[in-house]
Amino acid sequence: MLRTTRAAGAFVAALALAATAACTDDAKDGDAPEGAGVTFEAPRLVDMVNESQRLLYELETAEVRIIQACMELEGFTVHDQFWFSVVEPEPQEELFGAGDWGDWIPSVEEAAEYGFGQWAHDDDADPDAVEEYAAYKGHELGDSPEDELALEGGAGGLPDNSEFEALDPQEQFDWYVAYQGEAAALDENGWLIGEEGEVADDDDAVYSGDDFAYEQPEPGGCLREMIDALYGELRRVEDPEGSKSRGAYWEYRPVNPMDDFAKAEDSRAMYDEAIAGVQGELVDCLAEHDRHGWEFDEEGSLPVVDYLYELYEGEGSVVGDHPNLPGDAPADHEGKKAFEIAFAVDLAECGDETGYRETAAQAWADSQEAFYVSIEVETYAWQEEIRGILTKAQEVLES
């Protein structure tokens, strides 16, 4: 991570209150290049993010303990562990990593050796070459560290739910009724007793006014008892007016400033604006290498994976907006791998020639740090509110 980054002046000016609390007053001359805006210290923001994650984990754990105690008072001693499983977060050392901004352009050296690594997923790939590439990447192919964590249910693995699953369907349904009330239990788990819950499946309809595709039942049962004890009230949250499959849902926790999607969109717009020029330069560079027709997608990257998937799986195997493969694209595995590597080298060289990597990395650092600075004041206030709720939770558990 870029340990000290610059937030663009115009964006920070719009966030003056947060910036006043966040900026360092003693930045020395030469700390940032000419034209850089206010200098911010990323480590402080990392600490803020980690503290928010820690508090949220403690809060979720306390909620589960209160609900479980309520359930057991009602005679339920075997529980659906998926509702009671809380994964302890790993402390972050950085606000973001290269993969967050889409570090999809390999170095020239890596490209010349392995291309993009898509060849390794081909059934005809040499097993020894696949094993070598997997060792280079440091994990099993197809399973990134993030994927493995998700599949295992976090650091502790998936909870053992066999005891609950051994109950008959009516017993399971009764548990859900006690957990969240009959209406919510029917909505989500009515299938256990032959009842169908509501679904929002009319993707073509547009809803407005009081007309909803789906309205979540108000929670009851022990879940509601916990909500009443810790939060006092529910909030009914509606999807934006006129959206498709519009729904209404219930929330009760204080809104985490990190979930401020409007400010997150502002930071994304800041990033997109900062890299628009170099994106054009990268596409032009590819055209100079006789790689025509490339355009950046909404995620801010080139649809390389879709392009190569079609190379290996055949035309029409993937729906995506990418250039057509050349008419003389190879048909055998080794030919396809060579094609992939040559393309990867061209892209990597263009990444070097245009300075795309450095520009994108700095733009992402600036935009993300600007986002965290913009919510800093609100986040510290939210953390204090959560600490107060945790104190109340301890009193509930001791009563």
Instruction: Report the pLDDT value the prediction gives residue 45, as an integer from 0 to 100.
Output: 93
Structure tokens at 191: 């299938």
pLDDT confidence of residue 320: 65
> pLDDT value at position 16?
33
Whether residue 3 lies inside any domain: the answer is: no
Write down the pLDDT at residue 132: 94
pTM here is: 0.73
Q: Provide the pLDDT confidence category of residue 22 given band limits of 50, 70 and 90.
A: very low
Q: What is the pLDDT of residue 327?
A: 86
Residues 115 and 76 in one domain: no
What is the DSSP secondary structure assignment for residue 4, as one 8-state letter? E
Measured distance CA(66)–CA(63) in Å, rounded: 5
Closest CA to 291 of 322, 270, 321, 312: 322
Is a pLDDT exceeding 90 seen at residue 83?
A: yes
- Output the pLDDT for position 316: 63
- Which has the closest alpha carbon to 345: 118, 122, 107? 107
- 242-253 residue pLDDT tens: 555 568 889 999
Which pLDDT band, with edges at 50, 70 and 90, does 131 fall under? very high
Whether residue 150 is predicted with pLDDT greater than 50 in this model: the reply is no
More reliable by pLDDT, 198 or 130: 130
Task: Specify the number of domains making up the chain.
Answer: 2
pLDDT recorded at residue 31: 39
Amino acid identity, position 344: A
Q: Is 26 a member of any domain?
A: no
Same-domain check for residues 254 and 141? no
Same domain for 256 and 268?
A: no
The predicted pLDDT at position 238 comes to 85
Terminal CA-CA length for the chain:
47
* Domain annotation covers residue 316: yes
Residue at 251 is within a domain: yes
Considering the domain architecture, whether residues 138 and 195 belong to the same structural domain is answered as: no
Task: Over range 268-292, report the average pLDDT.
Answer: 95
- Is residue 243, in this structure, part of any structural domain at all? yes
Higher pLDDT, 222 or 319: 222
Which long-range contacts does 259-263 make (Cβ < 8 Å, 24+ apart)?
Answer: 260/375, 260/378, 263/371, 263/374, 263/375
Average pLDDT over the chain reads 82
Tokens standing for 325?
A: 């493969």
Residue 176 lies in a domain: yes
pLDDT of residue 245: 54
Residues 203 and 142 in one domain: no
Average pLDDT over residues 121-131: 94
Which range of residues forms the domain containing residue 309? 98-153+262-366
pLDDT band at residue 126 under the 50/70/90 scheme: very high
Please list, in sequence order, all residues whose beta carbon lies within 8 angstroms of the beta carbon of residue 71, skipping any fewer than 6 positions away: 79, 175, 178, 179, 222
Quick one: 293 and 239 in the same domain? no
pLDDT in tens, 334-355: 999 999 999 999 999 999 999 9
Three-state SS annotation for 169-209: HHHHHHHHHHHHCHHHHHHHHHHHHCCCCCCCCCCCCECCC
Among residues 297, 323, 299, 301, which one has the least CA distance to residue 310?
Answer: 323
Query: 369 to each of 15, 43, 97, 363, how far by Cα in Å?
Result: 12, 11, 12, 10
Q: Using DSSP bridges, classify how beta strands 247-251 and 235-238 pair: parallel, antiparallel or unpaired.
A: antiparallel
Dist. CA 263–CA 260, nearest whole Å: 6
Mean pLDDT of 203-209: 40
Task: Choose between 67 and 32: higher pLDDT.
Answer: 67
Query: Which strands make up the sheet holding 214-215, listed edge to edge?
Result: 214-215, 247-251, 235-238
| pLDDT on residue 139 | 58
- Considering the domain boundaries, does residue 22 fall inside one? no
Q: Say whether pLDDT at 149 is over 50.
A: no
Q: How far apart are CA 253 and CA 55, in angstroms?
A: 12
Q: Report the distance separating Cα 47 and Cα 336, nearest Å.
A: 46
Which range among 102-111, 116-125, 153-162, 364-373 shows the weakest confidence by mean pLDDT?
153-162
Q: Of all residues in the chain, what percent carry a pLDDT higher than 90?
A: 62
Asked if 338 and 286 sit in the same domain, the reply is: yes
CA distance 63 to 295: 47
pLDDT, tens digit, 9 for 90 and up, residues 283-296: 999 999 999 999 99
Check whether residue 178 and residue 319 sit in a common domain: no
Query: Is there a single domain that holds both residue 289 and residue 347?
Result: yes
Distance (Å, whole) CA 351 – CA 95: 24
Cα 340 from Cα 311, distance rounded (Å): 9
Whether residues 178 and 238 share a domain: the answer is: yes
Contacts 24+ apart (CB under 8 A), 134-142: 141/117
Q: Supply 106's token pair.
A: 């390999």
CB 83 within 8 A of CB 153: no
Phi, psi at 4, each rounded to 5°: -130, 125
pLDDT band at residue 297, thresholds of 50, 70 and 90? confident
* 54 and 196 together in one domain: yes
Same domain? 273 vs 220: no
Whether 281 and 356 have beta carbons less than 8 Å apart is answered as yes
With respect to residue 11, please indicate whether it lies within any of the assigned structural domains: no
Stretch among 40-49, 282-291, 304-313, 362-371 having the lowest mean pLDDT: 40-49
Query: How high is the pLDDT of residue 43?
Result: 87
